[in-house]
Structure 1
């Protein structure tokens, strides 16, 4: 799909099309549509229409000067839905994408049929922060040698067993990072958006069916945040992907896709669909 004009910028959007229920997939810090295309999309695309934008500052999307906010990035996503004439969709957000998904749902609840908050929190001081090791990686100078950034990042982004096994997906991830670098200024602008996000006192307004999904060994957004989210969203369903870190859709794509498909396909008790 070509770029779509939204909120004063152009976003690159992959759309699998088809007469299927639409799912808006919002990636995390520094990632674009590749994140979904290489993880859960092969398992879901025959049953769901996957709309996978590259956020502002990432991939082939525009990279305007920052800083960015998650509300601003949510407005970008609403513009994508408008451009595609989609009134109501399932929304899946991972990490920073989860923050954006929250803001989208709070701003336009009538547009969200179901919501998946994956590897994320409600942000702010009430949430559980990254581990010290993960925080150190987030604060690294983005002008460092690319392989050094990738090596340091993977140490905290995935489970040790994934690194030790060296599966083809790990090689694909490294190749992607080398060929699709995020300019330091754009990375910083996205990082600020995540660091300033705080929906702790607002997220309870979300009433659509919600799945809280996390990796058991996540160091970037520790899985304890699921219980904090659950306290704010008592009707939400939870699922933990075992033996996986922050990039659990990449590490365990089949298991992640199964959790998503199960949630997409059924209503939740006591919550209107």
Structure 2
């Protein structure tokens, strides 16, 4: 029998569309006087995938904001030949919401753009949480590129998305949760993905220049960013805290939300108000 626990009731939030210049992006915002936490979703998901986090972070005293990138759930795709810079779309969102500085919590592909934002707009960032991401480091970083190639041979992409992203324990023990996650994944995009431009190649030298408080985390069964890859990343972010979520794959915020929330909130509470 599945012991899956559906997401809890959500805290009140306003929803809207923000014009980023070439299209409109869907977002939600709980408002409030607390420091803002902005969630950046994975490539297989959208701004609708944070149901386990939204009410918990609000209860902890934070203003919580989520959004869908171009071409994802409820957001317009715009011209796919002119996909824009995702970090600048995020800046537009913060401006629209009147947020001067935010904590970014980014999973998987979302972390690519969180890194870009940290480098382009360091004064708008409070802390950076990077979960389950191989970061999109430029292929000129040969050793890291080779490690990623060993992790994901060409045949990897042909595998079902739930096999690639969800831990075996979750797939075996929580079939209802798998189906709910797949429903969100199916809704996340209605057409080809919009691949945002990055403002510059992401090298280790650039990563090392990020001085904001940083949390690196992954699931112990993440096929994209397993603990060994996380340790490689941590060598270039020597000040970062590192956490590994047991029995989680590429989506720890969904697979093990209690652990994910506890780790991130502990980090944010210790950093809140600094600077």
- TM category (shorter chain) comes to 0.7 to 0.9
Q: Give 5+ residue unaligned stretches, structure 2.
A: 1-14
Task: Name the structure 1 match of 2:234.
Answer: 230
* Residue from 33, 41, 63 that aligns with 2:77: 63
Runs of at least 4 residues of structure 1 off by over 6 A? none
> 1:243 and 2:263 equivalent?
no
1:96-135 paired onto structure 2 within 5 Å: 96-122=109-135, 123-125=137-139, 126=141, 127=144, 128-129=147-148, 131-132=151-152
Deviation at 1:94, TM superposition (A): 0.8
> 1:166 and 2:174 equivalent?
yes
Task: Name the structure 2 match of 1:153.
Answer: 161
CA contact (8 A) 2:207 2:236 kept: yes
Q: Give 5+ residue unaligned stretches, structure 1.
A: 141-148
> 1:95 and 2:108 equivalent?
yes
**Whole-Å separation in 2 of the counterparts to 1:203 and 1:25:** 20
CA RMSD of aligned residues (A): 2.4
Q: How many residue pairs are counted as aligned between the two chains? A: 251
**Whole-Å separation in 1 of the counterparts to 2:185 and 2:121:** 33
Task: Name the structure 2 match of 1:145.
Answer: none
**Whole-Å separation in 2 of the counterparts to 1:18 and 1:202:** 34
Task: Name the structure 2 match of 1:206.
Answer: 210
Task: Name the structure 2 match of 1:143.
Answer: none
Deviation at 1:181, TM superposition (A): 4.9
The residue matched to 2:45 in structure 1 has which SS?
Answer: coil
- So what's the TM-score if we normalise by structure 1? 0.83
- So what's the TM-score if we normalise by structure 2? 0.83
CA contact (8 A) 1:3 1:13 kept: yes
